[in-house]
């Protein structure tokens, strides 16, 4: 059985600890800082075996070296980004796998936010750790990649089972929801989700993880064939890539 613990750090980051209860193996996903991870590990009497980095940004790798020095863990990240992942030991590419106990971790290349972004998918647990590629009702900014790359990356995710839980790395949902409502104001699934989000945040509860089914129903970046969104953008005859590109540009300015 897998146990997943979510650790809120900095202003809006999430670090995840994935623990296999049978083997005792534990991995940390995107440790922005080390101390909260060490606190949870000590509290649970867990030993850190791996760090899984989705990409090189400091708010995802900032705790790497401290954790490695204190636990002896191995750091796994994108092979193409090995010069930018502190302490990397395991260099991963699309289609590679890792083992956490008896669970197989599948590596999905998802360029867009950065050119060397990867996600970690555990099919047996229905869990996707996608860093800054997909957010609840949003997607990552295109700092290094292109809109076409990001759309292709997101389509890899939308091919997964609808029940897949999406463990993204930031609590951006409330702000993303405002933009989603702006571009698709009549979407009943979205309006219902917004009310749920307001309640969760008022109770200081996370809106993450979300599910793929929820995102397909509410996330404008996965809904580029929506007639309502195309109408809002005055892009009724545009391609899905053109709509996606315009959505990303407008979200940047929203």
The verdict on whether omega for the bond into residue 209 sits within 30 degrees of 0, i.e. cis, is: yes
pLDDT at 228: 96
Beta bridge partners, 52, equal: 29, 76
SS3 12: coil
CATH 3.40.50.1970 fits 2-168, yes or no: no
Size of the chain, expressed as the number of residues it contains? 254
Contact 18, 27 (CB under 8 A): yes
Mean pLDDT of 235-252: 97
Q: What confidence score (pLDDT) does residue 231 get?
A: 96
pLDDT digits (tens, 9 = 90+) for 102-158: 999 999 999 999 999 999 999 999 999 999 999 999 999 999 999 999 999 999 999
For the full predicted model, state whether its pTM sits above 0.95: yes
Return the H-helix or E-strand segment holding 247. Answer: helix 240-253
User: What's the average model confidence in pLDDT over 78-103?
Assistant: 97
Q: How far apart are CA 39 and CA 41, in angstroms?
A: 5
Q: Collapsing DSSP states into helix, strand and coil, what is residue 196? A: helix
**Locus of tokens 């404008």:** 220
Domain spans in the chain, listed from the N-terminal domain onward: 2-168, 173-253
């Amino acid at each position: 059985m897998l146990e997943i613990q979510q650790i809120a750090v900095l202003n809006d980051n999430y670090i995840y600890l994935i623990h296999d209860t049978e083997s005792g193996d534990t991995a940390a996903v995107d440790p922005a800082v080390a101390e909260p991870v060490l606190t949870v590990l000590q509290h649970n009497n867990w030993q850190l075996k791996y760090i899984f980095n989705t990409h090189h940004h400091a708010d995802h790798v900032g705790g790497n070296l401290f954790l490695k020095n204190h636990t002896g863990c191995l750091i796994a990240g994108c092979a193409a980004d090995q010069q930018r992942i502190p302490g990397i030991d395991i260099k991963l590419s699309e289609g590679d796998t890792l083992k956490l106990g008896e669970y197989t971790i599948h590596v999905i290349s998802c360029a867009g936010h950065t050119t060397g972004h990867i996600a970690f998918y555990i099919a047996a647990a229905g869990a996707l750790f996608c860093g800054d590629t997909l957010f609840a009702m949003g997607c990552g900014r295109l700092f290094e990649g292109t809109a076409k790359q990001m759309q292709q990356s997101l389509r890899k995710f939308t091919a997964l089972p609808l029940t897949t839980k999406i463990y993204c790395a930031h609590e951006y949902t409330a702000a993303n929801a405002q933009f989603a409502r702006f571009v698709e104001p009549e979407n009943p699934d979205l309006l219902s989700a917004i009310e749920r989000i307001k309640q969760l945040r008022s109770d200081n509860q996370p809106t993450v993880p979300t599910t793929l089914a929820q995102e397909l129903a509410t996330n404008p970046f996965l809904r580029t064939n929506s007639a309502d969104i195309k109408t809002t953008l005055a892009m009724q005859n545009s391609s899905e890539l053109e709509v996606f590109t315009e959505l990303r540009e407008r979200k940047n300015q929203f």
